[in-house]
Amino acid sequence: MIRAMYTATSGMLVESRRNDLIAENLYNGQMPGYKVQRLLKQARPATEFQIPTDVQTTTVGQFVDPARGPLRTTSNPLDFALEGDGFFVLDTDRGPAYTRDGRFHRSSDGVLRTGNGNAVMGEDGPLQLPLDLRADIPVKVEQDGTVWAGDQRVGRLLLRDFPGYRGLQAAGGSLFYPTGAVAAVAVEPQVVQENIEGSNVQSVTEMTRMIESLRAFEQYQKVITTVMNDVTGEAVRRLGRVA
């Protein structure tokens, strides 16, 4: 009976983590470039005796669903989206970071930045628009990432990929940092100007998964309650015989 408690408790811990991850997906469901995260779990023997009914469920990691989110047209010429695989490269305090969130703006120093102030990298360094850029001079971005300010070529967006999101660690929202396990590779997606990529979160799917997780948690909880009642009942019977 005690082994059943360990099995049920391990299941509850995994479902609790799974529920947290689903809640995170729902919370970031409206964030551009966000990718759904899933939990990887496995059942394994809890003891060295390999008893078939004595198993524990454990978390072995999580993975990112790389499916592309829908594109939404905006009126901002500095909003970019990517058709195909790949990431925009950002310069952050922690080093290079990668994102599919292409909501950028021109800062006072002319550098193209994210809302958090991270510089958007070009092939020759941070991408910088002319300081004297007039409002009537259009900023254009070609499909290959080449940026123009009027007739002046500003540079080309640095675009990299980690196939299958391997070698990346989520850092909240749509930002990823490299783990060093896999090197970034060059990629040539199509850049779409005045568009942003939405998240690939399907709210109905996530709510369904949350209900499944909560029901599984409740079932594990019932197992523990049943075991505890049986253990308590057996202890009372034994004490009665001793008395």
**pLDDT for the residue numbered 2:** 63
Residue 151, pLDDT > 70, answer yes
| Token pair recorded at residue 114 | 């994210």
Residue 83, pLDDT > 70, answer yes
Helix (H, G, I), strand (E, B) or coil at 152: strand
pLDDT in tens, 192-232: 999 999 999 999 999 999 999 999 888 888 888 887 776 66
**Mean of the pLDDT values across residues 162-166?**
92
In this structure, the chain runs to a length of 243
Strands 146-149 and 71-73: unpaired
Residue 94, pLDDT > 90, answer yes
Check: CB of residue 128 under 8 Å from CB of residue 112: yes
Residue 89's pLDDT band (cuts 50, 70, 90): very high
**pLDDT for the residue numbered 243:** 53
Q: Measure the CA–CA gap between 90 and 53, rounded to whole angstroms.
A: 50
Give Cα separations from 233 to 121, 123, 217 (angstroms): 67, 72, 24
For residue 103, which of 82, 126, 128 has the smallest C-alpha distance? 82
What is the CB neighbour count within 10 angstroms for residue 163? 12
